[in-house]
Amino acid sequence: MTIDIKVPAVGESVTQVTIANWIKKEGEHVKTDEILCELESDKATFELPAEADGILHIVAPTGTTLNIGDVICRIATTAEEATASKAADASAVAVQQMAQTGGKQQVVVMDVPQLGESITEVTLAQWLKRDGDFVKMDEPICEIESDKATFEVAAKASGILKIIALDKKTLAIGEPICEIVVTEDTTQPVAVAATAPQTQTTVAASTSSYATGHASPAASKILAEKGISPEEVKGSGKEGRITKEDAMNAQKTVQSQPVVTASSPAVSAPSSVQPVAEGERGTRREKMSSLRKTVARRLVSVKNETAMLTTFNEVNMKPIMDLRAKYKDSFKEKHEIGLGFMSFFVKAVCIALKEFPAVNAQIDGDEIIYHDFCDISIAVSAPKGLVVPVVRNAEKMSFAEIEKEIVRLATRARENKLSIPEMTGGTFTITNGGVFGSLMSTPIINAPQVAILGMHNIVERPVAENGQVVIRPMMYIALSYDHRIIDGRESVSFLVRVKQLLEDPARILLGV
Protein backbone atom coordinates (compact mmCIF):
# COMPACT_ATOMS: atom_id res chain seq x y z
CA MET A 1 0.00 0.00 0.00
CA THR A 2 1.23 3.51 -0.84
CA ILE A 3 0.40 6.44 1.47
CA ASP A 4 0.29 10.01 0.18
CA ILE A 5 1.90 12.51 2.57
CA LYS A 6 0.27 15.93 2.07
CA VAL A 7 1.03 19.45 3.26
CA PRO A 8 -0.74 19.73 6.64
CA ALA A 9 -2.90 22.66 7.71
CA VAL A 10 -0.58 24.80 9.84
CA GLY A 11 -2.76 27.82 10.57
CA GLU A 12 -5.81 29.72 9.35
CA SER A 13 -3.83 32.37 7.46
CA VAL A 14 -1.20 30.04 5.98
CA THR A 15 -2.07 28.84 2.46
CA GLN A 16 1.36 27.89 1.09
CA VAL A 17 4.62 26.40 2.33
CA THR A 18 8.06 25.92 0.82
CA ILE A 19 10.16 22.77 1.22
CA ALA A 20 13.25 24.10 2.97
CA ASN A 21 15.23 20.87 3.25
CA TRP A 22 14.79 17.12 2.79
CA ILE A 23 16.20 15.25 5.78
CA LYS A 24 15.51 11.83 4.24
CA LYS A 25 16.57 10.79 0.74
CA GLU A 26 14.67 9.27 -2.19
CA GLY A 27 14.29 5.50 -1.78
CA GLU A 28 15.33 5.56 1.89
CA HIS A 29 13.47 3.45 4.45
CA VAL A 30 11.67 5.61 7.03
CA LYS A 31 9.85 4.84 10.26
CA THR A 32 6.60 6.22 11.65
CA ASP A 33 6.99 9.72 13.20
CA GLU A 34 10.52 10.00 11.80
CA ILE A 35 11.21 13.51 10.43
CA LEU A 36 11.16 13.57 6.62
CA CYS A 37 11.69 17.24 5.74
CA GLU A 38 11.45 20.82 6.96
CA LEU A 39 8.65 23.07 5.70
CA GLU A 40 8.82 26.85 5.76
CA SER A 41 5.82 29.17 5.75
CA ASP A 42 5.79 32.96 5.83
CA LYS A 43 5.65 32.77 9.62
CA ALA A 44 7.63 29.77 10.86
CA THR A 45 9.62 26.64 10.04
CA PHE A 46 8.30 23.24 11.10
CA GLU A 47 9.08 19.56 10.57
CA LEU A 48 7.03 16.95 8.68
CA PRO A 49 6.96 13.44 10.23
CA ALA A 50 6.37 10.15 8.43
CA GLU A 51 2.87 8.68 8.82
CA ALA A 52 3.96 5.06 8.35
CA ASP A 53 6.97 2.74 7.97
CA GLY A 54 8.12 2.19 4.40
CA ILE A 55 10.14 3.38 1.42
CA LEU A 56 10.14 7.13 0.72
CA HIS A 57 9.34 8.44 -2.77
CA ILE A 58 9.85 12.23 -3.03
CA VAL A 59 7.31 14.07 -5.18
CA ALA A 60 8.33 17.70 -4.57
CA PRO A 61 12.06 18.56 -4.37
CA THR A 62 13.73 21.12 -2.11
CA GLY A 63 12.65 24.68 -2.90
CA THR A 64 9.19 23.71 -4.15
CA THR A 65 6.27 25.91 -3.03
CA LEU A 66 3.10 23.92 -2.34
CA ASN A 67 -0.45 24.71 -1.32
CA ILE A 68 -2.03 23.21 1.78
CA GLY A 69 -3.18 19.68 0.88
CA ASP A 70 -0.72 19.15 -1.99
CA VAL A 71 1.19 15.86 -2.04
CA ILE A 72 4.79 16.20 -0.81
CA CYS A 73 5.87 12.57 -0.98
CA ARG A 74 4.62 8.99 -0.92
CA ILE A 75 5.53 6.11 1.37
CA ALA A 76 5.33 2.52 0.12
CA THR A 77 4.77 0.46 3.23
CA THR A 78 7.24 -2.24 2.09
CA ALA A 79 10.32 -2.16 -0.13
CA GLU A 80 8.75 -4.76 -2.41
CA GLU A 81 5.67 -2.61 -2.96
CA ALA A 82 7.84 0.44 -3.69
CA THR A 83 9.75 -1.48 -6.35
CA ALA A 84 6.56 -2.96 -7.75
CA SER A 85 4.97 0.49 -7.92
CA LYS A 86 7.87 1.91 -9.94
CA ALA A 87 7.96 -1.14 -12.18
CA ALA A 88 4.20 -0.90 -12.78
CA ASP A 89 4.49 2.78 -13.74
CA ALA A 90 7.34 2.06 -16.16
CA SER A 91 5.49 -0.94 -17.57
CA ALA A 92 2.35 1.10 -18.16
CA VAL A 93 4.32 3.75 -20.01
CA ALA A 94 6.11 1.11 -22.06
CA VAL A 95 2.85 -0.61 -23.08
CA GLN A 96 1.31 2.70 -24.10
CA GLN A 97 4.31 3.76 -26.17
CA MET A 98 4.62 0.32 -27.80
CA ALA A 99 1.01 0.64 -28.90
CA GLN A 100 1.68 4.09 -30.34
CA THR A 101 4.71 2.92 -32.34
CA GLY A 102 3.17 -0.32 -33.57
CA GLY A 103 5.45 -2.44 -31.41
CA LYS A 104 8.52 -1.73 -33.52
CA GLN A 105 10.41 0.59 -31.17
CA GLN A 106 9.58 1.62 -27.64
CA VAL A 107 9.49 5.42 -27.28
CA VAL A 108 8.59 7.15 -23.98
CA VAL A 109 7.14 10.63 -24.38
CA MET A 110 7.77 12.89 -21.39
CA ASP A 111 5.30 15.70 -20.70
CA VAL A 112 5.38 18.70 -18.35
CA PRO A 113 4.33 17.19 -14.99
CA GLN A 114 1.54 18.47 -12.77
CA LEU A 115 3.27 20.71 -10.19
CA GLY A 116 0.35 22.19 -8.22
CA GLU A 117 -3.20 23.40 -8.57
CA SER A 118 -2.23 27.04 -9.21
CA ILE A 119 0.56 26.32 -11.71
CA THR A 120 -0.64 26.26 -15.34
CA GLU A 121 2.59 26.84 -17.26
CA VAL A 122 6.35 26.55 -16.80
CA THR A 123 9.52 27.72 -18.53
CA LEU A 124 12.18 25.24 -19.61
CA ALA A 125 15.18 26.74 -17.79
CA GLN A 126 18.00 24.51 -19.06
CA TRP A 127 18.81 21.07 -20.38
CA LEU A 128 21.13 18.96 -18.23
CA LYS A 129 21.47 16.43 -21.08
CA ARG A 130 22.02 16.96 -24.80
CA ASP A 131 20.07 15.69 -27.74
CA GLY A 132 21.27 12.16 -28.51
CA ASP A 133 22.73 11.50 -25.03
CA PHE A 134 22.08 8.22 -23.28
CA VAL A 135 20.09 8.77 -20.07
CA LYS A 136 19.21 6.45 -17.22
CA MET A 137 15.85 6.11 -15.51
CA ASP A 138 15.29 8.70 -12.75
CA GLU A 139 18.30 10.71 -13.92
CA PRO A 140 17.58 14.49 -14.07
CA ILE A 141 17.53 15.63 -17.68
CA CYS A 142 16.33 19.24 -17.48
CA GLU A 143 15.16 21.99 -15.14
CA ILE A 144 11.81 23.76 -15.40
CA GLU A 145 10.78 26.94 -13.63
CA SER A 146 7.36 28.09 -12.46
CA ASP A 147 6.45 31.38 -10.83
CA LYS A 148 7.07 29.72 -7.46
CA ALA A 149 10.05 27.34 -7.72
CA THR A 150 12.51 25.44 -9.91
CA PHE A 151 12.05 21.70 -10.47
CA GLU A 152 14.20 18.95 -11.96
CA VAL A 153 12.56 16.57 -14.44
CA ALA A 154 13.81 12.99 -14.23
CA ALA A 155 13.90 10.45 -17.05
CA LYS A 156 11.06 7.91 -17.01
CA ALA A 157 13.14 5.26 -18.77
CA SER A 158 16.68 4.44 -19.85
CA GLY A 159 17.51 5.24 -23.46
CA ILE A 160 18.49 7.84 -26.04
CA LEU A 161 17.18 11.38 -25.47
CA LYS A 162 15.39 13.26 -28.24
CA ILE A 163 14.71 16.89 -27.27
CA ILE A 164 11.39 18.40 -28.39
CA ALA A 165 11.22 21.69 -26.44
CA LEU A 166 14.09 24.17 -26.51
CA ASP A 167 15.56 26.19 -23.63
CA LYS A 168 13.63 29.24 -22.37
CA LYS A 169 10.43 28.01 -23.98
CA THR A 170 7.17 28.42 -22.04
CA LEU A 171 5.11 25.25 -21.89
CA ALA A 172 1.67 24.42 -20.56
CA ILE A 173 1.12 21.56 -18.12
CA GLY A 174 0.93 18.31 -20.12
CA GLU A 175 2.86 19.55 -23.17
CA PRO A 176 5.64 17.21 -24.42
CA ILE A 177 9.21 18.04 -23.40
CA CYS A 178 11.17 15.21 -24.98
CA GLU A 179 11.15 11.58 -26.08
CA ILE A 180 13.31 8.69 -24.87
CA VAL A 181 14.01 5.82 -27.28
CA VAL A 182 14.27 2.96 -24.80
CA THR A 183 17.50 0.94 -24.98
CA GLU A 184 20.11 -0.34 -22.56
CA ASP A 185 22.96 -0.23 -25.07
CA THR A 186 24.45 3.26 -25.59
CA THR A 187 26.35 2.07 -28.70
CA GLN A 188 23.22 0.74 -30.42
CA PRO A 189 22.27 2.97 -33.39
CA VAL A 190 18.80 4.46 -33.06
CA ALA A 191 16.67 6.83 -35.11
CA VAL A 192 17.90 9.89 -33.17
CA ALA A 193 21.57 8.94 -33.14
CA ALA A 194 23.97 11.59 -34.42
CA THR A 195 26.52 11.30 -37.23
CA ALA A 196 29.95 9.73 -36.67
CA PRO A 197 31.81 12.89 -35.62
CA GLN A 198 28.99 13.85 -33.25
CA THR A 199 28.98 10.35 -31.76
CA GLN A 200 32.64 10.69 -30.86
CA THR A 201 31.86 13.94 -29.05
CA THR A 202 29.03 12.28 -27.14
CA VAL A 203 31.21 9.37 -26.02
CA ALA A 204 33.94 11.73 -24.91
CA ALA A 205 31.46 13.82 -22.95
CA SER A 206 30.09 10.72 -21.20
CA THR A 207 33.31 10.40 -19.21
CA SER A 208 32.01 13.23 -17.05
CA SER A 209 28.52 12.89 -15.60
CA TYR A 210 25.70 15.39 -16.03
CA ALA A 211 26.18 16.17 -12.35
CA THR A 212 29.69 17.55 -12.87
CA GLY A 213 29.54 21.27 -12.18
CA HIS A 214 25.76 21.15 -11.74
CA ALA A 215 24.29 22.71 -8.58
CA SER A 216 21.48 21.19 -6.56
CA PRO A 217 18.33 23.38 -6.18
CA ALA A 218 19.37 24.50 -2.69
CA ALA A 219 22.91 25.23 -3.90
CA SER A 220 21.60 27.13 -6.94
CA LYS A 221 19.52 29.37 -4.66
CA ILE A 222 22.52 30.18 -2.44
CA LEU A 223 24.81 30.84 -5.42
CA ALA A 224 22.21 33.13 -6.99
CA GLU A 225 21.97 35.11 -3.76
CA LYS A 226 25.76 35.50 -3.72
CA GLY A 227 25.89 36.36 -7.41
CA ILE A 228 28.25 33.47 -8.13
CA SER A 229 28.11 31.36 -11.29
CA PRO A 230 28.18 27.54 -10.85
CA GLU A 231 31.18 27.48 -13.22
CA GLU A 232 33.20 29.26 -10.50
CA VAL A 233 32.54 26.51 -7.92
CA LYS A 234 34.14 23.08 -7.70
CA GLY A 235 31.61 20.46 -6.62
CA SER A 236 32.46 18.00 -3.86
CA GLY A 237 29.32 15.89 -4.26
CA LYS A 238 28.82 12.68 -6.15
CA GLU A 239 30.34 12.87 -9.64
CA GLY A 240 31.30 16.52 -9.07
CA ARG A 241 27.82 17.84 -8.22
CA ILE A 242 27.77 21.18 -6.36
CA THR A 243 26.24 20.65 -2.92
CA LYS A 244 24.65 23.11 -0.54
CA GLU A 245 27.85 23.13 1.55
CA ASP A 246 29.93 23.97 -1.53
CA ALA A 247 27.64 26.92 -2.26
CA MET A 248 27.77 28.19 1.32
CA ASN A 249 31.59 28.10 1.30
CA ALA A 250 31.92 29.61 -2.18
CA GLN A 251 33.46 33.07 -2.57
CA LYS A 252 33.03 35.33 -5.59
CA THR A 253 36.14 35.43 -7.74
CA VAL A 254 37.55 38.92 -8.21
CA GLN A 255 38.80 39.33 -11.77
CA SER A 256 42.20 40.99 -11.92
CA GLN A 257 42.50 43.90 -14.35
CA PRO A 258 45.23 43.67 -17.02
CA VAL A 259 48.17 45.99 -16.47
CA VAL A 260 48.68 48.51 -19.25
CA THR A 261 52.11 50.13 -19.51
CA ALA A 262 53.26 53.11 -21.47
CA SER A 263 55.40 50.85 -23.68
CA SER A 264 52.36 49.00 -25.02
CA PRO A 265 50.50 51.44 -27.27
CA ALA A 266 48.70 48.59 -29.00
CA VAL A 267 46.47 48.11 -25.95
CA SER A 268 46.00 51.74 -25.00
CA ALA A 269 42.37 52.91 -24.89
CA PRO A 270 41.16 55.42 -27.48
CA SER A 271 40.53 58.91 -26.22
CA SER A 272 36.79 58.65 -26.95
CA VAL A 273 36.27 55.94 -24.31
CA GLN A 274 34.69 57.22 -21.10
CA PRO A 275 36.86 56.79 -17.96
CA VAL A 276 35.92 53.82 -15.79
CA ALA A 277 34.71 54.64 -12.28
CA GLU A 278 37.11 53.59 -9.57
CA GLY A 279 36.18 50.95 -7.02
CA GLU A 280 33.75 48.05 -7.23
CA ARG A 281 30.35 48.79 -8.78
CA GLY A 282 28.82 45.34 -8.53
CA THR A 283 25.13 44.57 -8.26
CA ARG A 284 23.38 41.47 -7.08
CA ARG A 285 19.88 40.11 -7.37
CA GLU A 286 18.26 38.13 -4.57
CA LYS A 287 14.94 36.34 -4.62
CA MET A 288 12.51 37.52 -1.97
CA SER A 289 11.83 35.01 0.79
CA SER A 290 8.30 33.74 1.41
CA LEU A 291 8.18 35.75 4.62
CA ARG A 292 9.29 38.97 2.91
CA LYS A 293 6.79 38.53 0.05
CA THR A 294 3.95 37.91 2.50
CA VAL A 295 4.88 40.91 4.66
CA ALA A 296 5.04 43.10 1.54
CA ARG A 297 1.68 41.88 0.30
CA ARG A 298 -0.04 42.43 3.63
CA LEU A 299 1.41 45.89 4.23
CA VAL A 300 0.28 47.08 0.80
CA SER A 301 -3.12 45.53 1.43
CA VAL A 302 -3.47 47.40 4.72
CA LYS A 303 -2.54 50.71 3.10
CA ASN A 304 -5.08 50.14 0.32
CA GLU A 305 -7.96 48.71 2.36
CA THR A 306 -7.96 50.80 5.56
CA ALA A 307 -8.47 54.47 6.33
CA MET A 308 -5.23 54.66 8.30
CA LEU A 309 -4.23 57.77 10.23
CA THR A 310 -1.54 58.39 12.85
CA THR A 311 -1.66 60.59 15.94
CA PHE A 312 1.38 61.48 18.07
CA ASN A 313 2.23 62.41 21.64
CA GLU A 314 5.29 62.42 23.85
CA VAL A 315 6.00 60.80 27.19
CA ASN A 316 8.31 61.90 29.99
CA MET A 317 10.08 58.62 30.80
CA LYS A 318 11.79 59.88 33.97
CA PRO A 319 9.22 58.41 36.44
CA ILE A 320 9.56 54.94 34.89
CA MET A 321 13.35 55.20 34.67
CA ASP A 322 13.55 56.25 38.33
CA LEU A 323 11.26 53.37 39.34
CA ARG A 324 13.36 50.85 37.38
CA ALA A 325 16.61 52.18 38.83
CA LYS A 326 15.21 51.86 42.36
CA TYR A 327 13.76 48.35 42.13
CA LYS A 328 15.49 46.61 39.21
CA ASP A 329 17.94 44.67 41.40
CA SER A 330 15.35 43.40 43.87
CA PHE A 331 12.93 42.69 41.00
CA LYS A 332 15.50 40.56 39.20
CA GLU A 333 16.51 38.80 42.40
CA LYS A 334 12.92 37.83 43.15
CA HIS A 335 11.59 37.06 39.67
CA GLU A 336 14.84 36.08 37.89
CA ILE A 337 14.03 38.43 35.02
CA GLY A 338 14.98 42.03 34.24
CA LEU A 339 12.46 44.85 34.49
CA GLY A 340 12.19 46.51 31.08
CA PHE A 341 10.11 49.30 29.57
CA MET A 342 7.90 46.96 27.56
CA SER A 343 5.98 45.62 30.57
CA PHE A 344 5.00 49.18 31.54
CA PHE A 345 3.73 49.86 28.01
CA VAL A 346 1.82 46.58 27.87
CA LYS A 347 0.10 47.22 31.20
CA ALA A 348 -0.72 50.83 30.26
CA VAL A 349 -2.12 49.73 26.89
CA CYS A 350 -4.31 47.04 28.49
CA ILE A 351 -5.90 49.60 30.83
CA ALA A 352 -6.47 52.04 27.96
CA LEU A 353 -7.97 49.31 25.74
CA LYS A 354 -10.56 48.52 28.40
CA GLU A 355 -11.60 52.18 28.42
CA PHE A 356 -11.63 52.50 24.62
CA PRO A 357 -12.88 49.13 23.31
CA ALA A 358 -13.01 50.26 19.66
CA VAL A 359 -9.19 50.35 19.63
CA ASN A 360 -9.21 46.67 20.65
CA ALA A 361 -11.73 45.63 17.99
CA GLN A 362 -11.66 44.45 14.36
CA ILE A 363 -13.90 44.67 11.31
CA ASP A 364 -15.56 41.54 9.92
CA GLY A 365 -17.62 42.42 6.85
CA ASP A 366 -20.37 44.75 8.01
CA GLU A 367 -19.84 43.94 11.69
CA ILE A 368 -17.42 45.06 14.40
CA ILE A 369 -15.97 42.42 16.72
CA TYR A 370 -15.12 43.76 20.20
CA HIS A 371 -12.69 41.79 22.37
CA ASP A 372 -13.07 41.55 26.13
CA PHE A 373 -9.46 40.39 26.45
CA CYS A 374 -6.10 41.89 25.49
CA ASP A 375 -3.87 39.71 23.34
CA ILE A 376 -0.94 42.04 22.71
CA SER A 377 1.23 41.40 19.64
CA ILE A 378 4.87 42.39 20.10
CA ALA A 379 6.87 43.09 16.91
CA VAL A 380 10.22 41.26 16.95
CA SER A 381 13.01 41.50 14.38
CA ALA A 382 14.01 37.89 13.56
CA PRO A 383 16.78 36.65 11.21
CA LYS A 384 14.27 35.96 8.42
CA GLY A 385 12.28 39.17 8.89
CA LEU A 386 9.70 40.82 11.11
CA VAL A 387 7.48 38.51 13.16
CA VAL A 388 4.75 39.42 15.65
CA PRO A 389 4.27 36.86 18.46
CA VAL A 390 1.35 37.36 20.84
CA VAL A 391 1.24 37.78 24.63
CA ARG A 392 -2.11 36.17 25.56
CA ASN A 393 -4.41 37.68 28.20
CA ALA A 394 -1.87 40.36 29.03
CA GLU A 395 -4.45 42.23 31.12
CA LYS A 396 -4.31 39.41 33.71
CA MET A 397 -0.52 39.14 33.85
CA SER A 398 1.90 40.73 36.31
CA PHE A 399 4.98 42.73 35.29
CA ALA A 400 7.20 39.71 35.83
CA GLU A 401 4.93 37.40 33.83
CA ILE A 402 4.86 39.85 30.92
CA GLU A 403 8.65 40.24 30.91
CA LYS A 404 9.19 36.47 30.99
CA GLU A 405 6.71 35.86 28.17
CA ILE A 406 8.26 38.56 25.99
CA VAL A 407 11.75 37.13 26.52
CA ARG A 408 10.51 33.62 25.73
CA LEU A 409 8.77 34.68 22.53
CA ALA A 410 11.67 36.87 21.38
CA THR A 411 14.14 34.03 21.94
CA ARG A 412 12.00 31.59 19.94
CA ALA A 413 11.65 34.20 17.19
CA ARG A 414 15.40 34.67 16.84
CA GLU A 415 15.87 30.90 16.75
CA ASN A 416 13.12 30.58 14.08
CA LYS A 417 11.15 28.27 16.37
CA LEU A 418 7.89 30.22 16.71
CA SER A 419 4.79 28.16 16.04
CA ILE A 420 1.75 29.36 14.10
CA PRO A 421 -0.51 29.60 17.19
CA GLU A 422 2.09 31.82 18.88
CA MET A 423 1.76 34.39 16.08
CA THR A 424 -1.98 34.47 15.41
CA GLY A 425 -4.96 36.05 17.13
CA GLY A 426 -3.55 39.30 18.51
CA THR A 427 -5.96 42.19 19.16
CA PHE A 428 -3.48 45.10 19.39
CA THR A 429 0.19 45.53 18.44
CA ILE A 430 3.15 47.32 20.03
CA THR A 431 6.29 47.95 17.98
CA ASN A 432 9.50 49.47 19.33
CA GLY A 433 11.53 51.24 16.67
CA GLY A 434 13.46 52.99 19.41
CA VAL A 435 15.79 50.02 19.84
CA PHE A 436 17.16 50.87 16.37
CA GLY A 437 17.35 54.60 17.08
CA SER A 438 14.09 55.74 15.49
CA LEU A 439 12.99 59.15 16.74
CA MET A 440 9.53 59.15 15.14
CA SER A 441 7.61 56.94 12.69
CA THR A 442 4.12 56.07 11.48
CA PRO A 443 3.71 52.31 12.08
CA ILE A 444 1.43 50.32 9.75
CA ILE A 445 -1.55 48.47 11.25
CA ASN A 446 -1.18 44.71 11.68
CA ALA A 447 -4.39 43.49 9.99
CA PRO A 448 -7.04 42.46 10.95
CA GLN A 449 -6.32 44.62 13.97
CA VAL A 450 -7.34 48.28 13.79
CA ALA A 451 -4.57 50.01 15.76
CA ILE A 452 -0.85 49.80 16.56
CA LEU A 453 1.30 51.69 19.08
CA GLY A 454 4.80 52.77 18.08
CA MET A 455 7.51 53.33 20.69
CA HIS A 456 10.61 55.36 19.80
CA ASN A 457 14.03 56.40 21.01
CA ILE A 458 14.39 58.06 24.43
CA VAL A 459 16.17 61.40 23.99
CA GLU A 460 16.99 64.00 26.62
CA ARG A 461 15.31 67.26 25.59
CA PRO A 462 14.51 70.59 27.25
CA VAL A 463 10.89 70.77 28.36
CA ALA A 464 8.89 73.23 30.42
CA GLU A 465 7.76 72.13 33.90
CA ASN A 466 6.09 74.49 36.34
CA GLY A 467 7.34 77.50 34.42
CA GLN A 468 10.95 76.30 34.26
CA VAL A 469 12.97 74.68 31.48
CA VAL A 470 14.36 71.31 32.56
CA ILE A 471 16.06 68.39 30.79
CA ARG A 472 13.96 65.24 30.68
CA PRO A 473 14.25 61.83 28.92
CA MET A 474 11.44 62.12 26.38
CA MET A 475 9.92 59.56 24.00
CA TYR A 476 7.60 60.19 21.08
CA ILE A 477 4.76 57.67 20.84
CA ALA A 478 2.54 57.15 17.81
CA LEU A 479 -0.83 55.48 17.38
CA SER A 480 -1.79 54.42 13.86
CA TYR A 481 -5.49 53.53 13.67
CA ASP A 482 -8.26 52.62 11.24
CA HIS A 483 -10.50 55.67 10.96
CA ARG A 484 -13.39 53.47 9.78
CA ILE A 485 -14.23 52.44 13.34
CA ILE A 486 -11.97 54.65 15.51
CA ASP A 487 -12.81 58.33 15.60
CA GLY A 488 -10.25 61.07 16.16
CA ARG A 489 -11.54 61.72 19.67
CA GLU A 490 -11.09 58.07 20.66
CA SER A 491 -7.62 57.76 19.16
CA VAL A 492 -6.29 60.94 20.77
CA SER A 493 -7.94 60.12 24.10
CA PHE A 494 -6.47 56.61 24.02
CA LEU A 495 -2.96 57.94 23.44
CA VAL A 496 -3.35 60.61 26.14
CA ARG A 497 -4.49 57.91 28.57
CA VAL A 498 -1.40 55.81 27.78
CA LYS A 499 0.80 58.88 28.31
CA GLN A 500 -0.92 59.59 31.64
CA LEU A 501 -0.35 56.04 32.91
CA LEU A 502 3.30 55.97 31.86
CA GLU A 503 4.15 59.33 33.41
CA ASP A 504 2.56 58.27 36.70
CA PRO A 505 3.21 54.48 37.03
CA ALA A 506 1.35 54.36 40.35
CA ARG A 507 -1.86 54.70 38.32
CA ILE A 508 -1.07 51.36 36.63
CA LEU A 509 -0.81 49.61 39.98
CA LEU A 510 -3.90 51.32 41.38
CA GLY A 511 -5.94 51.14 38.14
CA VAL A 512 -6.87 54.84 38.23
- Alpha helices (H) along 35-184: 79-100
- Alpha helices (H) along 144-229: 196-205, 217-226
- The C-alpha angle 331, 336, 338, rounded to 5 degrees, equals 60
Backbone angles phi, psi at 313, to 5 degrees: -155, 175
Active site residue 487: yes
Active site residue 483: yes
Backbone angles phi, psi at 139, to 5 degrees: -85, 130
Catalytic residue of the set 138, 147, 322, 483: 483
Amino acid identity of residue 368, one-letter, is I
Contacts of 294 (CB under 8 A, 6+ apart): 42, 43
The CA-atom distances, in angstroms, between 505 and each of 197, 317, 320, 512 are 88, 10, 7, 10
Nearest by Cα to 327 from 512, 511, 509: 509
CA dihedral 339, 345, 347, 352 (to 10 degrees): 170
Nearest by Cα to 356 from 505, 497, 175, 504: 497
Which residues, listed in sequence order, are joined to residue 342 by a DSSP beta bridge? none
Q: Which residues are identified as catalytic?
A: 483, 487
